[in-house]
Structure 1
Amino acid sequence: MFKNILFVCIGNICRSPSAEVMMRHALRGREVGVSSAGLAALVGHGIDATAQELLVDHALDGAEHRARQVTPKILSGADLILVMEKKHLRRISEIAPESSGKTFLLGKWREDLEIPDPYRQQRPAFEHVYRLMADSVSAWKRYI
């Protein structure tokens, strides 16, 4: 059904790369591409250190990640685009209106839950966001 999943947040260094790694792990063994990009990406930067620590704590790894800017081409190549906040839905519809029909909140199956940005916050904020994303990734898995 979905062959190319794209996660989008703002900087592409905390939420979207973490969700990308989680989903890739959840779908291991399936031929589904999973990637991420940012609406205002810190292009070329690696994953946030705290986000990486949490991934490692869960036997996952985002160390190879490098942030990239979302583009209309990247959006058009995705079969499913998962974002963290409602304002991301609006921004994607401005960048590529044709992508609106395949763009949803990561927390869609959790009553349209929005996933807050933990950037520049303490570890407890990252832990909270990690739990929300892990639960949301699990909820999406049955539809992919």
Structure 2
Amino acid sequence: MFNNILIVCVGNICRSPTAEYLLKAKMTPATGRVISSAGIGALVGKPIEATALAILREHGIDAGAHCARQVTAVMLHEADLILAMEEGHLKKLHEIAPQIRGRAFLLGKWQDNQPVPDPYCQQRPAFEHAYKLIDQATESWLKYLGN
């Protein structure tokens, strides 16, 4: 059972919080299970980006409480499963904590390792595309997460 799932992107204001809140909404609540997100270049303390927040709310999910945080070696060490958006993120995470090999994967692993492109500073269609990819990827992970 994966009790501590960490989802990572760059700024921790678009993709990783979208995936975090989507996965939380899809999974059956389990005592002690933690699903969180962080960024490798986090905009620490910032809320989720407004367009990402609006799209989540349109799907009945409120991520208004999100606050961006920087990924740390301790977070990586404590996570049972680490999901990143792009190969470059995995490489950076392996530099921070080499021991995570074998429990760090792309969120899009079950979609032929499809990356989720960064919609930051782009128009709404880029956010909608990222949301669609994240929705598909999180759905694919459910059967492996002991849900």
TM-score in terms of structure 1 length:
0.98
The residue that corresponds to 2:123 in the other structure is 122
Q: How do 1:76-115 and structure 2 match up within 5 A?
A: 76-115=77-116
Report the secondary structure of 1:142's partner residue: helix
The alpha-carbon deviation at position 99 of structure 1 amounts to 1.0
Structure-2 residue corresponding to 1:45: 46
How far off its partner does 1:4 sit? Answer: 0.5
Q: Which residue of 2 aligns with 1:5?
A: 5
Partner of 1:140: 141
SS state of the match for residue 19, structure 2?
helix
Alpha-carbon RMSD:
0.7
The one-character-per-residue Cα deviations of 1:81-124 (angstroms, maximum 9, x if unpaired) are 00000001100000000012210000000011000000000000
Identity of aligned residues (%): 51
Shift of 1:30: 2.5
Matching residue's letter, 2:130 = V
Look up the equivalent residue of 2:135 and give its one-letter code. Answer: A
SS at structure 2 position matched to 1:8: strand
Moved over 3 A (4+): none
Query: What does the per-residue CA deviation read over 1:36-55, in whole Å, with 9 as the maximum and x for residues that have no partner?
Result: 00000000000000000000
Task: Tell me how far apart the structure 2 counterparts of residues 14 and 61 of structure 1 sit (CA, whole Å).
Answer: 14
Between the two proteins, the alignment pairs up a number of residues equal to 144
Amino acid paired to 2:70: Q
CA distance in 2, matches of 1:104, 1:130: 18
Using the size of structure 2 for normalisation, the TM-score is 0.96
Looking at structure 2, the residues matched to 23 and 94 of structure 1 have their Cα atoms a distance apart, in angstroms, of 26
Separation of aligned partners in 1, 2:85 and 2:45: 21
